[in-house]
Amino acid sequence: MNNGKQKTSLPLIFAISALVIFLVFLLINKTAVVDTFKGFGYNPTPEMATVKQSLELTADGERIFNATRPLLASSEDFNYSCESHDEEVSVLGCYTGDRIYVYNVSDTKLSGIRESTSAHELLHAVWNRLPGVEKSALIPLLESFYSKNPDLKETIDAYAESERLDELYVRVGTQIADLSTELESHYSRYFKDQDKIVSFYTAYITPFNELKTEIESLKSELDALEKEINEKSAALDARAAAFDAAVSEFNNCANTAGCFTSNAAFASRRAELVAEQQAINSDNSSLNSLIDAYNKKVETYNSSVVRSSELQSLINSNSTESKIEE
């Protein structure tokens, strides 16, 4: 009888080893694996496919993008999906239930808005997936841009503390160019060209900023003109009142025997009053010209405000004037 040792099956060992390696891989890459399965079957509309292509996503970025199944939504669908937003506030997108919804603004004046919003919401999904250790490492890098950028600080300060870091991470990644090496490296995991992502934001926000600057400048000019008009009007009223008193005095003197010592004195005083009348008329004409300039500037200001309101209506899903693709 052969009592030798039984040989171990190498194929079985290899199979077990492969299974162990696979299980370890699944454990380490659980989120990525889940996202891969969630993204199966995602078929974006032609418009969203164009947006996706424009974003130039990396493999990681595309996987998360597909997993969140972004949708360009009409006003009705968008308001239903993003129901928590204030009717008076323009909301361009939302990330809810691990889905991305983007308000489908199609007006050519706001080129880049769908791409910028899609990238913005995608980074919300990325932040939601980042491990706590990685978030902690990013926080001081993000805070440095918060402290150095007044516009960013003003925006972030409007958010609740629970949303602050999330929003800061997203806005730095989509609105700030010339990032630190560490942040450039981080965002490059999702976007092949982060500067291009920023350019989408810059393109659509520029008309808003230009109008805001124009309105603020006109308002400042109007305030200065109004102050000048009020001051000159008050001075002219006082001068006219003094003139009326002088004319009354002159007339009383002319009707009183011996008040004027000579015809020359009478003629001299009359000439002074005539000159004063002409000066008052000239000042009044200047004041009217100033008022005309003020009124024209008011018209320009009102026109700019209307244009700003119209632009805002394009991005407000609650506005009946919004131009969107149904």
Q: Which pLDDT tens digit goes with each residue over 179-205? A: 999 999 999 999 999 999 999 999 999
Residues 6+ apart with CB under 8 A from 218: 297, 300, 301, 304
Instruction: Please tell me whether residues 169 and 213 are part of one structural domain.
Output: no
Does 238 score more than 90 pLDDT? Answer: yes
Q: Is residue 225 part of a domain?
A: yes
DSSP string, 75-95: HHHHHHHTTTS-TTS---EEE
Residue 20 lies in a domain: no
Query: Binning pLDDT at 50, 70 and 90, where does residue 86 land?
Result: low
Residues 181 and 266 in one domain: no
% of the chain at pLDDT higher than 90: 69
Last residue in a domain, options 203, 221, 244: 203
Q: Is residue 18 part of a domain?
A: no
pTM for this model (two decimals)? 0.79
Same domain, residue pair 143 and 55: yes
Same structural domain for residues 133 and 271? no
Rounded mean pLDDT of 220-240?
96
What range defines the domain where residue 74 resides? 30-203
- The answer for residues whose C-beta is within 8 angstroms of residue 161's C-beta and 6 or more apart is none
In terms of domains, do 266 and 173 share one? no
pLDDT tens by residue, 110-156: 999 999 999 999 999 999 999 999 999 999 999 998 988 888 898 99
Q: Give the CA angle between residues 190, 142, 189 to the nearest 5°.
A: 15
Domain for residue 1, yes or no? no
Q: How far apart are CA 311 and CA 206, in angstroms?
A: 12
Q: Identify whether residues 192 and 307 lie together within a single domain.
A: no
Most confidently modeled range among 2-6, 16-20, 92-96: 92-96
Same-domain status, 64 and 147: yes
The total number of structural domains that make up the chain: 2
- Please indicate, yes or no, if residue 258 is contained in any of the structural domains: yes
Query: How confident is the model at residue 90, as a pLDDT?
Result: 65
145 in the same domain as 124? yes
Give domain status of residue 50, yes or no: yes
The 10s digit of each residue's pLDDT in 211-228 is 999 999 999 999 999 999
Domain end position, chosen among 203, 225, 250: 203
Confirm whether 188 is domain-assigned: yes
What value does the mean pLDDT of the chain take? Answer: 87
Which of these three, 182, 203, 224, is where a domain ends? 203
212 and 183 both lie in a single domain:
no
**Within this chain, do residues 196 and 218 fall inside the same structural domain, yes or no?**
no
Do 106 and 59 fall within a single domain? yes
Identify which has the larger pLDDT, 322 or 69: 69
Q: Are residues 87 and 190 in the same domain?
A: yes
